[in-house]
Chains A and B, each alone.
Chain A
Amino acid sequence: MIGVAVFAATLLWLRGDFRVLERYKYVFGVTALFLLFLPLAPGIGETVNGSRLWIHFAGLQFQPGELGKIALIVFLAAYLREKREVLAQGRLKDWGPLLAIWGGAMLVLVATDDLGSALLYYGIFLALLYVATARAAFVAAALALFVAGSVLVTYLVSHVHERVTDWLSPWSSHPVFCPLTGHMAYRQDCQSYQLVQSLYSIAHGGFGGTGLGHGIVTTAAGGPVVPDLNTDFIYSALAQELGLIGAAALLLLYMAFVLRGFRIALSASDGFSKLLAAGLSFGFAFQTFVIVGGITRVIPLTGITLPFVSYGGSSILSNFLLVAGLLLVSHRANREKAA
C-alpha cells in the first residue's frame, strides 16, 4: 500500500521533467552513503544473520540499503553523464572517484559484513561506468580490484570467510566447530543449515511443485524448515510450491521486465535518461542474480532480498521507486518521439 502510494507520488512529482534530479546528484550521492552506513549507527542498527543491514526506527524495521541503491543509481547516472568524456581519457587523476567508490564498497563490506550489498553496489557502478565510458579495460581493472579486495576480505573477516566455506562445501563428512552452539556439529546442521534445507526445499518442488500453500515450511517438530523464509529465502519456498515451471516462469518474467527496461534505455535521447534506465534495469537483474544465485549455490549466499517477491517494506518500496523511474524515462522518450 505504502509502495503504491510512493509510486504514485513519485510519478506525480516528477511528471514534468525528472531530469531535475540531475541537479541534485550530490544530494543523492550523500544520501546513498548515509543510507548505506545508517545500520552502523548505534541504537537503531540491528544485526540479522550476521549482517548489519537493518535499522529499527519508531517501531519499524527497515533496510536502508534498499533505498540507498536507488539513490546511488541516480547519483551515478548523473555523475557519469557529466564526467564520461573526462573519464574515458583514462588519466590517472580521474581514477580518483573510481578508487573512492571501490574503497566505499569495501568499507560497506567490512563494516556491515555484507558481501551481497557490496557486490550489488559495485556491480551497478561497474555496469554504468562501462556504459558511460565504453572502456572495457576500466571495467576489467575495477573487477580485478574487487576480486583482490574480496579475497583479502574473505581471509580477514571470519563472517565472509564462513559464507564462502559454506558455499563451497555445505555438507561436511565429519563434525566441525559450530560457532552458533560452541559445540562440534556437521556443517549442514549448523552454519550451512539454512542453505542446505533451502536446497532440499527447492528440490522437493520438483517439476510441478507442491501447489501454492501446500509447501512444507515447518519441520515435524514445528519449527521453520528454512529460517527467514519470507525474506532472504523466499525463492526456495516459491520453487517448492510452484516447482520448476513456476520458478522458471518468474525468472522469465524478470527477464522480460529487464529487457523492457533496456529498451527504454535505448529509446531515451539523453545520457542521463539512458544511464538511469540502464542502472535501474541492471540493478534489478543483478540483485536477482545475487540472491537467487546464492540460494541455488551459484555464488556464496548473501542476505539481500528478491525484488517484488520478498516480504519486507523497504524492498517493496524501493522496487516501486525503480519502476517509477523506468516509467518516467519511458514516458519522456515517447513524448520526444511524438514531438
Chain B
Amino acid sequence: MNRQLLRLSVLSMVLLAVLIGATTYWQSWAGADLANRQDNAVEAVAQLQIHRGRILASNGQVLAWSTPHRKKGLTIYSRHYPTNGLFSQIVGYATSGDNQVGLEQSYDDYLTGANTNLSNVLQSTLDRLGGETVHGDDVYLTVKPALQALALHDLAGRCGAVVAMNPKTGAIYAMASSPTYNQNLIEQPSGFGKIKHVKGSCGDASALVDNATAGLYPPGSTFKLVTASAALDTGIYKPTSPFYDPGYCIDYGKPVYNASAPDSPGGHEAYGNVDLSEALEHSINAVFCKVGEHIGAARILEYAKRYGFYAPPPLDLPPDESQASGLYNHGKLWYPKDPDTQVDSGRLAFGQERMLVTPLQMALVASTIADGGAEPKPYLVQKIVAHDGSTVAKTSPQVLGHPIKPSTAAELNQMMQLVVQGGTGTNAQIPGVEVAGKTGTAEIGLGDVYDAWFVCFAPANHPKIAVAVAVEKQPNGFGGSVAAPIAKDILEKLLGG
C-alpha cells in the first residue's frame, strides 16, 4: 500500500505546486494587462488612493491638484482644477472612473508615481507595504498663465486659438483654445451635457477640442511663407525677383483676383511692377499664383512636409489630441501621387486649395524662420519633480530639423518685417520693437466671412517669442484687423514683462 501512498502524495504536491504557479502567473506576467483593463474595480480604487501629483505652470501656479477625503473607511483623492478653464485643453482632466485626457493622460504614469526609477520603485513598494499613501510626481509646465489669460481674453469667446512659444527652445508659453470649458464640470452630473452647451461664436465648435493642436483651418496667406520658403530655398527666386501684377492671375483659364481694393468698390488691387518681397508685404495673390505655377505644387508640398506638415506635431499631448496639417481630400489627409497635375499649384501657393493647418503648425513655421532655419521641437512639460523634491526628469530643447537654409530664413525674416512696417500687418507694430509677421485671410466659402490669421515673431533680430493666431469665421474680418492686434498684445506682454 505504501507505493500507492507515495504516488498519491506526489500527486498532492503537484496539485498544490500548480496553484503556486497559477498565482505567480496572475501576480507577475498577467498583472500589467489586468491592471489596464477598464472594468478593473480594484485598480480603479487603487488609482483613487494615490495622491496624484500636481500640474503647475512655469510660475508655480497650480493648474490641477488632488485633495483627500474619507469615504467608507477609505482615504480617496479627488481632482480639482482651480483656474476656471484657463488651460483645460492642455491639462485635460482625470476622473474618478480612471479616464484621462490631455497631459493628465500622457503624464499619467508620472502623476500616479508608476513611472519611476529603481530607487523610487523600492520606496513606493515599502510605502505600499507599510500602508503609506503613494505620492505621484508633480509636473511643471512651460506655460505662462498671464499670457494664456490674455490670449483667451482677446479671443473673447470667438472660436480659434493662440499659440505662443519660444522659437529657439520650442517651449510653449501659451496655447489657448477658444471656446474653453471648466474641467470641474466633468465629474458633475450630466457634466458633458453642460460642456456641450459651451459655444463659441462659430456655433458648432466643441470646447473639449484643442483648436491649437487639432483645429484644422485653411491657412490663407500665412501659407505664402511656405511657398516663399520653397521659392527662395531652391534658388529659383530671390526677394528681388521682378513681377508684373495686373490684379489677377489666370489659373486654369479663369482669372483669380487679388483682394478687393478698399478705395474702389467692385475693383481689385493691382500693384503693377513689384518684386517678391513687396508681393509678400502686400500679400499679392496674383504674384504668388504665378510663383506657384512656376515652381509647382510638388515643390511647395515638399517644403510643407519639411516644416512638419503631414505628421501631427510632436507635442507631449496624447496622439489623438493633435492633427496633422496638409491637403485634405474628403475629410482625410491626402498627399497626391502627382501633385503638379492633381493639385491647383496657383491656388495652393496662397493657401487655398484644400490645404488645412493647425495654429501650432503655423507657430512652428514662424519659429523656424525666427531661429535661422532650425525648427525647434515644441514641448509643454518643463520638468517632473518627485514628492520628496528631487527632479525626476527635465526637458532639454531639441531641434526637429532644418527645413530651410539660414540664408533663406534671413531673407524671409526681412520680408516679414516689411509686412509689419508697411504692409498688411501694420496693426502688429510695437514702438521700439521690430516685429516680423504675416497675415492670412482665408476664404471658407461663406462670402465675406473669413478665418483670420496672423503669425509672427519678435524682436526680429533676436527673436524671443513666436506667435500664431487663428480666429474662425469672422464677418469682414481680415488677418490684419482681427488677428494681428491679438498677436501684438501677446508679444508686448511677454517682451514687456
Decide if A286 is an interface residue (CB 8 Å cutoff). yes
Interface residues of A in 203-224 (CB under 8 A from B): 203-211, 213-214, 216, 218-220, 222
Decide if A314 is an interface residue (CB 8 Å cutoff). no
Also in contact, A251 and B19, with CB within 8 A (given A265-B5, A274-B1): yes
A289 touches B8 (CB 8 A): no
List, in ascending order, chain B residues with CB within 8 A of A288's CB: 15-16, 19
CB distance from B67 to the nearest CB of A (A): 16
- With the chains together, A127 CA to B22 CA distance in Å? 24
B27 touches A255 (CB 8 A): no
Decide if B45 is an interface residue (CB 8 Å cutoff). yes
A285 touches B15 (CB 8 A): yes
B129 touches A208 (CB 8 A): yes
List, in ascending order, chain B residues with CB within 8 A of A51's CB: none
A127 touches B16 (CB 8 A): no
List, in ascending order, chain B residues with CB within 8 A of A197's CB: 40-42
Decide if A282 is an interface residue (CB 8 Å cutoff). yes
Decide if B23 is an interface residue (CB 8 Å cutoff). yes
Pick the residue among A204, A213, A262 that contacts B8 (CB under 8 A).
A262
B42 touches A298 (CB 8 A): no
- With the chains together, A263 CA to B272 CA distance in Å? 110
Report the nearest B residue to A271, measured CB to CB: B1
A282 touches B35 (CB 8 A): no
Report the nearest B residue to A188, measured CB to CB: B39
Pick the residue among B7, B41, B131 that contacts A211 (CB under 8 A).
B131
A219 touches B28 (CB 8 A): no
Decide if B393 is an interface residue (CB 8 Å cutoff). no
B128 touches A210 (CB 8 A): yes
List, in ascending order, chain B residues with CB within 8 A of A206's CB: 27-28, 31
Decide if A247 is an interface residue (CB 8 Å cutoff). yes
Also in contact, A251 and B13, with CB within 8 A (given A204-B42, A208-B129, A216-B42): no
Contact-residue bracket for chain A: 35 or more
A293 touches B27 (CB 8 A): no
A130 touches B45 (CB 8 A): no
Q: Is the interface of B mostly helix, strand, loop or mixed?
A: helix
Pick the residue among A131, A244, A247, A296 that contacts B1 (CB under 8 A).
A131
B23 touches A286 (CB 8 A): no
CB distance from A215 to the nearest CB of B (A): 9
Report the nearest B residue to A248, measured CB to CB: B20
- With the chains together, A216 CA to B406 CA distance in Å? 60
Decide if B396 is an interface residue (CB 8 Å cutoff). no
Also in contact, A199 and B20, with CB within 8 A (given A225-B45, A262-B12, A296-B26): no
A200 touches B13 (CB 8 A): no
Decide if A142 is an interface residue (CB 8 Å cutoff). no
A255 touches B22 (CB 8 A): no
Also in contact, A204 and B16, with CB within 8 A (given A216-B46, A225-B41): no
A127 touches B125 (CB 8 A): no
A218 touches B73 (CB 8 A): yes
A213 touches B5 (CB 8 A): no
Report the nearest B residue to A189, measured CB to CB: B39
Interface residues of B in 16-37 (CB under 8 A from A): 16-20, 22-28, 30-31, 34-35, 37
List, in ascending order, chain B residues with CB within 8 A of A163's CB: none
A297 touches B9 (CB 8 A): no
List, in ascending order, chain A residues with CB within 8 A of B31's CB: 203, 206
Pick the residue among B2, B8, B44, B130 that contacts A130 (CB under 8 A).
B8
Decide if A196 is an interface residue (CB 8 Å cutoff). yes
B19 touches A200 (CB 8 A): no
Give me 16 A-to-B residue pairs in the complex whose CB atoms sit less than 8 angstroms apart, sorted by A's number: A127-B8, A131-B1, A186-B39, A203-B26, A203-B35, A209-B129, A211-B130, A214-B128, A218-B72, A225-B41, A244-B23, A274-B5, A289-B16, A292-B19, A292-B23, A293-B15
15 further interface pairs, Cβ-Cβ under 8 Å (given A248-B20, A292-B23): A206-B31, A207-B125, A208-B125, A210-B128, A210-B129, A211-B128, A216-B46, A239-B23, A254-B16, A281-B9, A282-B8, A286-B12, A286-B15, A288-B16, A289-B15
Residue ranges of A at the interface with B (Cβ–Cβ < 8 Å): 127, 130-132, 134, 171, 186, 188-189, 196-197, 199-211, 213-214, 216, 218-220, 222, 225, 239-240, 243-244, 247-248, 251-252, 254-255, 258-259, 262, 265-266, 271, 274, 278, 281-282, 285-286, 288-289, 292-293, 296-298
